[in-house]
Amino acid sequence: MELDLKSKIAVVSGASTGIGRAIAKALALEGVRVLAVARRRDLLEELAREVHGAAGAVVPLAQDIMQEDAAKKLAAAAIAELGHVDILVNNAGGSRPLPLDAPDSDWDEAISLNFTRYRQVTHALLPQMIERRWGRIINITGKSEPEGLNAAFAAKAAVHAWAKGLSREIGRHGITVNCIPPGRIMSEQIRRNYPEDYREHFAEEEIPVGYWGEPEDLAALAVFLASPLARYVTGTVIPVDGGLRRYQF
């Protein structure tokens, strides 16, 4: 299927490994010029070399999304480097399990990382999308079935609510906003924290398709949502989880 993405411009955060890396690479292979943002510049440069010669390209930007004024700096760097941004993939974040007596500072950090930075970067780039009357915003979020207290779950739920409201405000400008909550997707962290025998047992018992996903499984959906073909898909939360979730909608 021709996705009509050639010549589009994208920003992907958390692009050095895992899901972010897979999305950045898949977009570049479709002809997109991608500003890949993460803290580890060496991994970003490695990704840029991997896609060298493809229809698109990866431009590395080493930046910590938690720095003061990170969103404004990122938006300014993107416009300076690329001229404009058509596609934004918000992928920074991380799990934050907390005890009942966790201090407010722990909650503030988790909310900032998993929700506030998404909102700030998006709102910083929205004016030029509105001016050009085209844009795609894709948020990589998290599951809605928390098994315990985790500040990241609360923050990702906030992303879902914010994104739905935003989609109703900016749809008339040709801009879509969607969220993708991953299921069990393989990554460095997963391999480090879950031994292979546990992963096999969990897949057999809990995941209907019988295996853990790869970052490329989620990237395929993200690339479609980034394309002009997905113009009528907005305000949605679409899990990529092999059927793991048990609720019906």
* 2-40 confidence digits (pLDDT tens): 999 999 999 999 999 999 999 999 999 999 999 999 999
197 pLDDT band, cuts 50/70/90, is very high
Instruction: Return the pLDDT at 54.
Output: 86
Instruction: Return the pLDDT at 70.
Output: 86
**To 5 degrees, how large is the angle CA 223–CA 225–CA 231?**
135
Q: Considering the chain, what is the average pLDDT of its residues? A: 94
207 pLDDT band, cuts 50/70/90, is very high
* Residue 151 CB contacts under 8 Å (≥ 6 apart), including other chains: 96, 97, 98, 102, 106, 107, 110, 111, 114
The phi, psi pair for 151, rounded to 5°, reads -65, -25
Instruction: Return the pLDDT at 141.
Output: 95
Give pLDDT tens digits for 125-172.
Answer: 999 999 999 999 999 998 877 788 999 999 999 999 999 999 999 999
216 pLDDT band, cuts 50/70/90, is very high
Residue identified by tokens 């315990």 is: 148
Examine the pLDDT at 237 and tell me if it is beyond 90: yes
Percentage of residues of the chain with pLDDT beyond 70: 100
Examine the pLDDT at 82 and tell me if it is beyond 80: yes
47 pLDDT band, cuts 50/70/90, is very high
Q: How would you write 85-105 as a 3-class SS string?
A: CCEEEECCCCCCECCCCCCHH
Domain boundaries, the chain: 9-184+215-237
Enumerate the H helices of 41-116 as residue ranges: 41-50, 70-82, 104-111
* Among the listed residues 190, 223, 164, the one whose alpha carbon sits nearest the alpha carbon of residue 28: 223
Is the overall model pTM greater than 0.85, yes or no?
A: yes
Examine the pLDDT at 69 and tell me if it is beyond 90: no
112 pLDDT band, cuts 50/70/90, is very high
Class of domain 9-184+215-237 as given by CATH: alpha beta
236-237 β-sheet, strand order: 57-62, 33-38, 9-13, 87-90, 135-140, 175-180, 236-237
Do 78 and 85 contact (CB within 8 A), yes or no?
Answer: yes
What's the distance, CA 29 to chain centroid?
18
189 pLDDT band, cuts 50/70/90, is confident
Q: What is the mean pLDDT of residues 58-69?
A: 86
Residue identified by tokens 């993708």 is: 180
Examine the pLDDT at 248 and tell me if it is beyond 90: no
Do 89 and 22 contact (CB within 8 A), yes or no?
Answer: no
Instruction: Return the pLDDT at 94.
Output: 81
